[in-house]
Each structure stands twice: as C-alpha cells, then as structure tokens.
Amino acid sequence: MGDVPRISLPAKAPGEALFYSIDFTGDLGGATITSRNASIVDGGATAGAAGGAGGFVTALIGGGVGGGEIIALYQALTSDGQTLQCYVIIGVLLPPT
C-alpha cells in the first residue's frame, strides 16, 4: 500500500451495503474534485459507483466475508492535475450464532 494514507472506518455485517465517505477537503488547496472513484482491493466485496460533493468521495460498499476485512481504494482527481488517494479498511462482523 506504499505511501498512500489508510483509514479504518466502522465495521459492517457481510449482508449489509453501506455508504462510506472520505473527506479530501484538506488536500485540495484551491482545486476542486473533477472525478471520483472507489475500487475494492481485497475482501470479497463490491463498490458502487463513487459520488460525493465538495471534497468528499462516497461509495456504497457491500459484501465481504464475516471475520475479515475489506480494503477499498478511494481516489479523487482534481482540477489541478492531482490524484488524491486513500485506502479504506472496513472490518466485516461475524454473523450472529
């Protein structure tokens, strides 16, 4: 994962699909986000099309394996040519027994 920042967000159940957001506002300077993307790197999950407003990138994350974790890469392309990135780590809860 190199020098790309990582952040852990609240866990979800394997059957849930929840919206998760990253705030890139502090990294924008005077630029704006022109394109947003979220993709699953690991964890047997799915990511819906990324959206958001202002400095935020938001995606619907579903699936995952109980007791594991999902790793998603969120990206924001900016009006001044930057590509801002952040790995999102989401724990996946074990199903109730």
| H or E stretch covering 42 | strand 33-42
pLDDT single digits (tens) 39-84 = 999 999 999 999 999 999 999 999 999 999 999 999 999 999 999 9
pTM equals 0.94
Which CATH code is given to the segment(s) 6-92?
A: 2.60.40.10
Q: How far apart are CA 28 and CA 79, in angstroms?
A: 9
∠34-35-37 over CA atoms, to 5°?
Answer: 155
Note the pLDDT of residue 97.
Answer: 76
Tokens standing for residue 65: 């394996």
